[in-house]
Amino acid sequence: MLPNCKQIAEQASEKIDEPLTGMAWFKHKVHVLMCKHCARYVNQMELSSRTITTMDSQVTPNQEVKKNVEEKYRDLHCSDSSHGTK
């Protein structure tokens, strides 16, 4: 069974620190290919992570700030009532 949208949002946050492997990766990828909302969310999370990572070291936010940004994206995605769960 494929993960639902809420699970994809959670996996997207976790995937930044530790990549998915095996069947979990495959199921995640299939869901994201089928769900434009999750595809957009995952892309935003990846972009945010890369942006934070590549920022100049003098202005790099601490882990708490990074986690806060990730949680805000997750909250926005999970509260989006324009699509149902998969």
Give me the pLDDT at residue 72, please: 82
Give me the pLDDT at residue 86, please: 45
Tell me the average pLDDT across 23-46.
Answer: 93
> Between residues 77 and 74, which one has the greater pLDDT?
74
**pLDDT at 5 > cutoff 50:** yes
pLDDT band at 20 (very low <50, low <70, confident <90, very high): confident
First to last CA, the chain: 10
**pLDDT at 4 > cutoff 80:** yes
3-state secondary structure 8-37: HHHHHHHHHHCCCCHHHHHHHHHHHHHCHH
Domain boundaries, the chain: 5-78
Instruction: Specify whether the CB–CB gap between 5 and 83 falls below 8 A.
Output: yes
Give me the pLDDT at residue 38, please: 94
* b/e 13-27 (16+ beta carbons within 10 angstroms → b): eebbeeeeeeeeeeb
Give me the pLDDT at residue 18, please: 82
